[in-house]
Amino acid sequence: MTARRASDRTYLDWNATAPLHPAAREAMLAALDVTGNPSSPHGEGRRARALVEGARERIGACLGVPARQVLFTSGATEAANWVLTPSAASARRTAPLAALLVGATEHPCVRDGHRFAPACVDTLPVDRDGRVDVASVADAVARLSDRHGPGSVMLAVQSANNETGVLQPIVELAAAVAPHRAILVCDAVQSVGRMPGLPRADIVVLSAHKLGGPKGVGAAVFGDDLSPEPLLKGGGQEKRQRSGTENVAAIAGFAAALEAATAAIGACAERAGRLQAAIETGLAALSPDAFVFGAGAPRLPNTTCFAVPDIPAETALIALDLAGVAVSSGSACSSGKVAASSVLAAMGYQAGIARGALRVSTGPDTTDADVEVFLGAWRDFIHRRAERAVA
Ligand code: PLP
């Protein structure tokens, strides 16, 4: 547990990235010493190939899918850019895909990363808690399928939101769109390794660094009847779908991290739920007007996204950072530039309250003491603000 603590800081930004799991580090160090190119036929190459294929098998086993359905990428961003293409071939249809429906709170790699023409893309609205409405999605898919034919629609809905932790009803969505043979793409970056199983979608997009693996490796998982147009062409690696010499060490680290996360999933979820309750109860006691986004929806147990009126996220973030606590304002990918969150805007929040949004996200190594440090730092921060307001 403590092996992942780099310092005496309190790291509560696991949705941005998780500290490297010791098992992943070990697997990567061992793999770095393997010389061969996995495509080479000699002994060195075969050793590297065995690492890649062994990792594929182990990842498939953790996810409950055949290893051949796991194709490695440089991360979820690349996987999303790759699979969300109108020229994806599918046994379900003979013409190019005609329409893409994208959840309003999707990560930018999905919202902006697809390769459909703007005129073919529609946004699926979410309610105040950040959930898409299954019946409305089914209607939209039915209308488009009537117009363009069965199997002509692709839709992209994430399993869990990175900013709020809100879970989407993927099982119900998959059942609702199946009669139209629509292709459901699910960004499962924030749920895999934290919740049991793989979302039941046609294509699932994954990233290693959210679950204790290294940054810069991920995967797309898809059925045998689907084949997106390659994004990277060249040597024909990954079933000719994703050319480029495999990142052997990162792939080995990915497999080790996913195995470790999968083995601990039950205990971690229970513990995360307890910490989430402590964080939200503590915040409510210290700041009675604190508001938790998505509180009315099922959420990841490790995520609390909250705002307190008149407290800008940037000010709070800096104060917490100086107190040794790392949290996030808005999504990690947009932190550094302070902009109101598009996720919260899609949920109907005005820029004023959305600008105060802070995300606290925990992981398997987070302790009760970490939560106490966070709440103590928050208490000191709001007391200092109150004193300044009086002075
Ligand atoms: N999807 C979600 C929900 C994420 O949280 C992230 C990372 O922030 C990504 C996709 C992008 O993943 P990667 O960093 O592997 O490109």
239-270 tens-digit pLDDT? 999 999 999 999 999 999 999 999 999 999 99
The reported pTM is 0.95
The Cα 95–Cα 129 span in angstroms is 36
Rounded to the nearest whole angstrom, what is the distance from the C-alpha of residue 249 to the centroid of ligand 1?
20
Q: Is 71 in contact with 243 (CB distance < 8 Å)?
A: no
Task: List pLDDT tens digits, range 324-361.
Answer: 999 998 644 444 555 678 999 999 999 888 899 999 99
Kindly list the distances between the CA atom of residue 22 and the CA atoms of 190, 261, 269, in Å, as whole numbers in the listed order: 20, 12, 20
At which residue do the structure tokens 């205990």 appear? Answer: 267
Query: What 3-state class would DSSP assign to 9?
Result: coil
Rounded to the nearest whole angstrom, what is the distance from the C-alpha of residue 376 to the centroid of ligand 1?
30
Question: Average pLDDT in the 146-168 region?
Answer: 96
Q: Which helix (H) or strand (E) segment is 139 a member of?
A: helix 134-148
pLDDT of 274 above 80? yes
**Which among 109, 167, 247, 300 is the best mutation to test ligand 1's pocket, defined by most ligand atoms within 8 Å of the CB?**
109
**Which among 77, 112, 335 is the best mutation to test ligand 1's pocket, defined by most ligand atoms within 8 Å of the CB?**
77
Task: List pLDDT tens digits, range 278-317.
Answer: 999 999 999 999 999 999 999 999 999 999 999 999 999 9
268 catalytically annotated: no
Q: Closest Cα partner for 189 from 198, 177, 180? A: 198
Four-CA torsion 123, 125, 131, 136, nearest 10 degrees = -90
At which residue do the structure tokens 């075969």 appear? Answer: 46
Rounded to the nearest whole angstrom, what is the distance from the C-alpha of residue 137 to the centroid of ligand 1?
24
Rounded to the nearest whole angstrom, what is the distance from the C-alpha of residue 207 to the centroid of ligand 1?
7
At which residue do the structure tokens 């898919």 appear? Answer: 141
Q: Closest Cα partner for 344 from 295, 293, 309? A: 293
Protein residues whose CB sits closer than 6 Å to any atom of ligand 1: 75-77, 107, 109, 158, 162, 187, 189-190, 207, 218, 332-333
Task: List pLDDT tens digits, range 75-118.
Answer: 999 999 999 999 887 766 666 799 999 999 999 999 999 999 99
pLDDT at 4: 65
Regarding beta strands 10-11 and 203-207, do their DSSP bridges make them parallel or antiparallel, or are they unpaired? Answer: unpaired
Which amino acid would we find at residue 309?
Answer: P
Task: List pLDDT tens digits, range 29-40.
Answer: 999 999 999 999
Query: What is the Rg, in whole angstroms, of the alpha carbon atoms belonging to the chain?
Result: 22
